[in-house]
């Protein structure tokens, strides 16, 4: 559906050249929700803005449905853009127009006759859950409601692709979840391809099928969300995973435990898929002569299965601890020995 080949973007400024995006290659399938995660300055916004021609690449091509968006100009680009909706962190609504007026705007630009326009706006208001707010102005709406207007407006012309630029970053956690659920619903109902950029692993975990991790303008890791959770390769990916698998005070707790327990090991266990739901620890204790203290644990749901982490302190004779680790590994559990940082 979307093919990004050798895309590069360099900005020239007074202080010199900045290469924001370096040799990016990606294939995004029709109907998938594809997340791009990276820290501030990684090049995410620049990359996503090239998907609808808001930025032109310095080199490379971006083909959407077979057509190269990067070489289009004028009316051809305008038409192609109708197939690509976009929503933004700060909504970018028209403040002098009501909810209805905002949603109607892209239909007016596309020359849709009034009657059809009104029908479509009504349909979209129902779809995004804004019934009763039709005549409100953006200043009278909550952040979540503003983003619902943004989504309705982006979907007005029945696009095939929806680009989301940090669409939930300005929202509180509950509202974020409600907006993410709405995106999943739209993806399922219409088979819409969604590409989102974020710096929050929670967003990736909750709704994406696949993810690309971006660092210093490059895609450094890509794969299905569950695979990346299971086997993160890059340290930047591991740091992002820490956002959803480790409590905020985890580092401190572990340092304290490492000081407290003079013997044994602190282990981080990672479980993926069905094994996350098995009674592994009771099997472990029954089969080996070791002591196990549970320090911290959680299970998260991704779109393709569960993923769990458990921090334990394990003590016993060295060969027993070794055997216990082998037992865990034989059950396809990731085992990492935690050391002082």
Ligand X SMILES: Nc1ncnc2c1ncn2[C@@H]1O[C@H](COP(=O)(O)OP(=O)(O)OP(=O)(O)O)[C@@H](O)[C@H]1O
CB of 20 to ligand X, least distance (A): 3
Whose Cβ is closer to ligand X: residue 38's or residue 106's?
38
Of 11 and 301, nearer to ligand X (C-beta) is: 11
Q: Minimum distance from CB of 41 to ligand X (Å)?
A: 4
Q: CB 60 → ligand X: shortest distance, Å?
A: 15
Total residues binding ligand X (CB under 6 A)? 12
Kindly state the smallest distance separating residue 43's Cβ from ligand X, in Å: 4
Q: Within positions 29 to 68, which residues make up the interface with ligand X, using CB under 6 A?
A: 38, 40-46
Task: Name the residue nearer to ligand X (CB basis): 222 or 300.
Answer: 222
CA–CA separation, 62 vs 25, rounded Å?
9
Residues 204-243, interacting with ligand X (CB under 6 A): none
CB of 213 to ligand X, least distance (A): 12
CB of 179 to ligand X, least distance (A): 18
Q: Which is nearer to ligand X, 102 or 237 (CB)?
A: 237
Question: Looking at beta carbons only, is 40 or 75 nearer to ligand X?
Answer: 40
Question: Nearer Cβ to ligand X, position 90 or 256?
Answer: 90
What x/- string results for residues 8 through 27 when contact with ligand X is judged by CB under 6 A? ---x-x----x-x-------
Chain positions contacting ligand X, by CB under 6 A: 11, 13, 18, 20, 38, 40-46
């Amino acid at each position: 559906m979307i093919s990004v080949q050798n895309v590069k973007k360099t900005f020239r400024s007074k202080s010199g050249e900045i290469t924001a995006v370096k040799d990016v290659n990606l294939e995004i399938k029709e109907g998938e929700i594809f997340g791009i995660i990276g820290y501030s300055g990684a090049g995410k916004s620049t990359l996503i803005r090239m998907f609808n021609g808001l930025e032109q690449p310095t080199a490379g091509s971006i083909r959407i449905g077979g057509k190269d968006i990067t070489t289009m100009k004028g009316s051809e680009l305008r038409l192609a853009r109708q197939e690509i909706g976009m929503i933004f962190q700060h909504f970018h609504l028209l403040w002098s127009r009501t909810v209805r007026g905002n949603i109607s705007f892209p239909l007016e630009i596309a020359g849709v006759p009034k009657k059809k326009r009104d029908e479509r706006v009504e349909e979209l208001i129902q779809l995004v859950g804004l019934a009763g707010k039709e005549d409100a102005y953006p200043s009278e709406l909550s952040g979540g409601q503003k983003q619902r207007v943004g989504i309705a407006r982006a979907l007005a012309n029945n696009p095939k692709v929806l680009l989301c630029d940090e669409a939930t970053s300005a929202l509180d956690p509950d509202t974020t979840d409600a907006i993410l659920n709405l995106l999943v619903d739209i993806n399922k109902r219409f088979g819409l391809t969604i590409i989102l950029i974020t710096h929050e692993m929670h967003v990736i975990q909750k709704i994406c099928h696949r993810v690309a991790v971006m660092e210093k303008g490059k895609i450094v890791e890509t794969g299905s969300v569950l695979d990346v959770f299971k086997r993160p390769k890059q340290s930047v990916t591991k740091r992002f995973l820490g956002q959803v698998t480790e409590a905020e005070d985890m580092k401190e707790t572990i340092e304290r435990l490492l000081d407290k327990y003079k013997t044994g090991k602190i282990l981080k266990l990672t479980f993926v898929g069905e094994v996350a739901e098995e009674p592994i620890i009771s099997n472990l204790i029954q089969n080996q002569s070791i002591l196990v203290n549970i320090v911290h644990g959680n299970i998260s749901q991704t779109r393709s299965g569960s993923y769990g982490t458990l921090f334990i302190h394990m003590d016993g004779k060295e060969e027993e601890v070794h055997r216990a680790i082998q037992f865990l590994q034989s059950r396809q559990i990731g085992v990492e020995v935690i050391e002082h940082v």
